[in-house]
A and B are shown apart, each in its own frame.
Chain A
Amino acid sequence: MEMFLLFLYNGLRVMNKAFEVIDHTADVGIIAYGADIEALFSNAALALFSLITELESIENKFHLDLEVRGEDIDILLIEWLNELIYLFDVKHILFNHFDITNLTHNKLQATCYGEDFNAMKHTIKVEIKAATYHMLKINKGDDGFRAQVILDI
C-alpha cells in the first residue's frame, strides 16, 4: 500500500516554484509558496485551479473583484479558496491570475482574472467540495511563506 506522501519542506525548495500537489488518501492537498503573503494567497488559488483544469487552457477574458473576511490568517486562506470553489461551482468561472490588492490579518481583497467554463475548451479534472482545516499549516521561513491545505474532493 502506498503511504501518504508528504513532500516535506526543508528549505531547499526550487526557487520560484509557485505550488505543488500532494496526496492524501481520500483527498488531495496543495502546498503553495510565496515570497510574501500576497504571493502565497495568489499561488494557493493557482494551485486550486490547476487541480480543476489545465491552467494553460484558461484565458484572461474578464476580471472580478472579491473580498473575503476571516478572524485570522488561517481562516482567511480557507475562506479565500472556498470562495473560489463556490464561484466555480455556481457561476462556472475558471481563474488563472490573481492580484491580491489588500491583505490584512482579517480581510482580503483581490482582483481575479479568468473566463467562463467552456466544455469545448476546458477539461474538468476533479470536482472540489471544499478547502479544509485538516493539516492546515502556514509557515514563514527565511525565503518566504509556505501554506499546506487539504482539499476535500
Chain B
Amino acid sequence: MAQWQGQLIKIDDYRWKIPEGYKSGMRVPGLIYANKEMLESMHEEQTLEQVANVAFLPGIVGHSLAMPDIHWGYGFPIGGVAAMDVENGVISPGGVGYDINCGVRLLRTSLSEAEVRPRINELINALYRNVPSGLGSEGKIKVSQKEMNQLMVEGARWAVKRGLGSEEDLKVTEEYGCLSGADPNKISNKAAKRGMPQAGTLGSGNHFLEIQVVKEIFDSHIASIMGVDEVGQILVLIHTGSRGFGHQVCTDHLRIMEGAVSKYGIRLPDRQLACAPIKSSEGQDYLAAMACAANYAWVNRQCIAHWTRESFSKVFGKSTEALGMKQIYDVAHNIAKIEEHIVDDRKLKVCVHRKGATRAFPASHKDTPICYKEVGQPVLVPGDMGRCSFIAVGTEKAMAETFGSTCHGAGRMLSRGAARRSMKGQDVLQELESRGITIRVGNLPSLAEEASQAYKDVTEVIDVVHHAGISRKVAMAVPMGVIKG
C-alpha cells in the first residue's frame, strides 16, 4: 500500500495537525498525538486518512483526534476520538467498534512477588480452570432470556446482586458499571442468543487475564491513593469486552445505519462510517442497544474479577480481604458517551466516540470516583504480554483538548498474518517463559499474533500522552502470568 501523502503540520513534538483544507468535506481539522518516529510508521498505512475521514461526520466539534496507539481500523481508526454535538451531530457504531465496551479492570493485592512467584503455576492453573476462556468459550453462569434482559439494564450490579463482587467494586467502575438508557427491546434475538451463553467469559484474540508485578512507581502519592504502595506488589489486569453479544449489536445497527445514511442525506467518504443523527430514532435505538452491550461487558469483567479473587483465595488459603484484593478501577475503551464539554468557550452536550481510547477525566470532574477526587480518574493502559502495562490518571489538559480521553494500549504494528509468518506460537511461548512469564493459552498458533514484536512499545505510547499532558503516568507493571483465550 502506498505511503500516505496527506498534509501534516507540526504543532509541537507530540502534536500534529491535519488541516481542515486537506480534503474537501472535512468539518474540523485532525489532531494526532505522536512522536516523530510513530508518525513515520503511521504514514505507511491509511490510518491518517481515516482520521481525516472521521472529520466528515456531521456535528463533529473540536478535532478528529488520534491517540499515539492509533492504527488502521475499519472506518474509524483504532485509537480515535470524535465528539459530536448532540443537537446536530451523528452517532456511528463504527466509532465504537464491534467489541462494545471492550475495556480493562485492575485489581490490586497485598501479595508480593516473592510470595506469588513460587506458586505461579498453581495460581495460573487455578485461574485457567475458574475463568472460562478461549474461542467460543461458554460461561459457567447460565443466563435465561429474562436474566439477560435484567443484566443488559443493570450492568455490573446484576453480578454484584448475585454475590459476584461487592458494592465497593461498582464505586470504582466507570459509570458504576451501568450505562443508563439501556433498552432490551432494541436488541435482536440474534444478539441475545449470541450473548446468553457467553456471559462471564474472557474470549480470545487480544483478550487476557494477567498477573503483574509493579516494577516502577512514577508518582508515589497518586499510586498510594490507588493502593499501589511498592515495587514488587502483585496486581491483576483483566481485559475483555462484550463478546459475540456486542459484535451482533454492532452488526445489526450498522445495517440499520446503512439505510439511515441515505435517508438523512449524509455524505460519507467510507461506508463503514455509517451513522445517523443522534436525535433520530435510528441513533437513539443504537445508543439504547449499545448501552445494553456496554452493561453486558461490565457484567463480564465483574464475574471474571470475582472468579479471580476466588482463585487467589483458594491457592493462598486466605480470604480476599486478607489478600487485599480491592479493585483499583475499571474503564471502557470502545464506547460512545453523552458528556458535557467546553467547546469554543461554551458548555456543549456532545456524544464522545472513544474507539480504542480511554476516558481520562481530571481530579475535579463530577464523574471521577470520590476516592480519586484528589488525583484524577485512573487510566489503565495494557501493553503487550511481553512488555509492560501502565497506570496513569486523567488531567485538566485532557478535558480541554481531547474531550477527557487518552490512549488505550500499545497499538498493533504487524498484521496478524505478518506476525504468524514471522514467528511461531511455540517460540513466543518459550521466549516468554525464559523471561519468567508463565502462559496458559487456548490456541498456541494464535500466540504469535500477540507477540511483543506485533505491537508498538507501550512505553513510547504512554510517554507521548504524559508529555503532551493528556495523562499523567503513575506506575508500571510487568507480567508474571498470563491467560489468553
Contact = CB atoms under 8 A, between A and B. Distances in A.
Interface of A: 1-6, 21-28, 71, 74-75, 79, 82, 86, 89-90, 92, 117, 123-127, 129-130, 132-136, 150, 152-153
Nearest to A24: B415
- Among B74, B194, B418, B446, the one with the most A-chain Cβ atoms within 10 Å of its Cβ is B74
Contacts of A5: 1, 415, 417-418
Interface string B270-290: 111010000000000000000
A90 B194 contact: yes
Interface stretch (B242-250, B431-439, B473-481): B242-250
A2 B412 contact: no
Contacts of A2: 414-415, 418, 422
Interface of B: 1, 41, 44-46, 71-75, 78, 97-99, 135-136, 190, 193-194, 197, 203-205, 244, 247-248, 250-251, 254-255, 258-259, 270-272, 274, 412-418, 422, 443, 445-446
Given A25-B71, A71-B258, A132 B446 contact: no
Nearest to A26: B412
A127 B72 contact: no
5 contacts: A75-B255, A86-B194, A90-B244, A132-B74, A133-B75
B258 A1 contact: no
Contacts, number: 121
B203 A127 contact: yes
Contacts of B412: 25-26
B325 to A, nearest CB: 29
A23 B274 contact: no
B136 A26 contact: no
Contacts of B255: 75, 79
Contacts of A4: 1, 44-46, 72, 415
B293 to A, nearest CB: 12
A26 B73 contact: yes
Given A3-B1, A86-B248, A127-B203, A134 B135 contact: no
- Among A4, A71, A134, the one with the most B-chain Cβ atoms within 10 Å of its Cβ is A134
A20 B144 CA distance: 40
Given A1-B413, A26-B73, A125-B443, A133 B272 contact: yes
A114 B364 CA distance: 58
Given A86-B194, A89-B136, A127-B205, A133 B254 contact: yes
Given A3-B45, A27-B74, A150-B74, A125 B445 contact: yes
B98 A28 contact: no
A25 B356 CA distance: 14
B270 A134 contact: yes
B443 A124 contact: yes
Given A2-B418, A4-B72, A89-B194, 6 more contacts: A24-B415, A25-B415, A71-B258, A75-B258, A125-B446, A132-B272
B74 A127 contact: no
B442 to A, nearest CB: 9
B44 A1 contact: yes
B193 A90 contact: yes
